[in-house]
Amino acid sequence: MPLPVDSEPHIRQRMSSNSSQQTVGVDTPVADTEGTICDELFELLYNITVAITHVTTLHIVKFFCVSVTIGSFMYEFFPIRESYFSNKHNFLNQYFVKLAWGWTMALHTPLIITTGLLQTPVNFLQTAMGLSRVLLVGTTVWFGWVEIVFHWVMQMTGSCIGDENLTDVRSCFKAGHHWDGFDISGHCFLLIYSALLIHEELRIVHQSSTQTKPSLDAVAEKQTSKENKKDKLIFLQKFFTILLILLECLWMLMVSMTAVYFHALSHKLIGAGVAILSWHVTYNIWYKMSLSPGSS
């Protein structure tokens, strides 16, 4: 039986409406789902990094002691075949290890500033203390040992092989010769000290974030422009935390590779020992005193 003329437009209208609803129902949740998955993966990665900061620094020290000792004995008595890491011109060595302290400062500085801005009220003193520990004390420790003490030891214990008229280490290397001196491993020192500093500072940042969490929750309840600023700061804090943990893991890997492929046993053990001693004196002794960069 043919349908009434008046009913056909209504049928077509309902079909068009159903089709539109199906299209919206398919497209809209996809974008939301993708955003949700990215957010969840980011939070998962951040939670993993926070869990790593719960590991005591003493356990990190034990790792370095075992890694350097075993790797050094392998280098001396059971050398392994060459690999990507045995080439000192590899990408990681050229652009990360040789610039290790620069990377450490470049990532720590914004993290410390961001953490200070998240305090309620903003804790300028804590921010200044954090920056002084990394930029001032840390740089002084690195420069003092590597560029002054280690260089002086090498200068006083060797001579230029290839041109005896060159009496300075840097001049000898610049001329393309080799200096036969006691070469304390600056790489071992720098990587270990940087990794320990990163771990200690991340533990401090995490403690500060935990203490100020109630204040952040209170702010989040207000739908104002401040909420978006806080969200951005929290994201940056998490982002730099993740990058620093990745950097710490890279330093741990490169210390192991340095132990296996480069330097004499005594050179690496002394470099590692000086790094651990520097960490212990600053973070376990000096920073626990009043009127130190560790006080707040």
Q: Is 263 a residue of the active site?
A: yes
105, 109, 111, 117: CA torsion to nearest 10? 170
Rounded CA separation 139/176 (Å):
29
Q: Which one of 187, 199, 206, 267 is the catalytic residue?
A: 187
**Helix 100-117 / helix 186-211 crossing angle, nearest 10 deg:** 10
The number of residues in the chain equals 296
Is 280 annotated as catalytic? no
Backbone angles phi, psi at 24, to 5 degrees: -65, -40
* Closest by CA position to 121, among listed 18, 28, 212: 212
Q: How far apart are CA 25 and CA 99, in angstroms?
A: 51
Of 108, 199, 263, 267, catalytic: 263
Rounded distance, CA 123 to CA 193, Å?
27
Active site residues: 187, 263
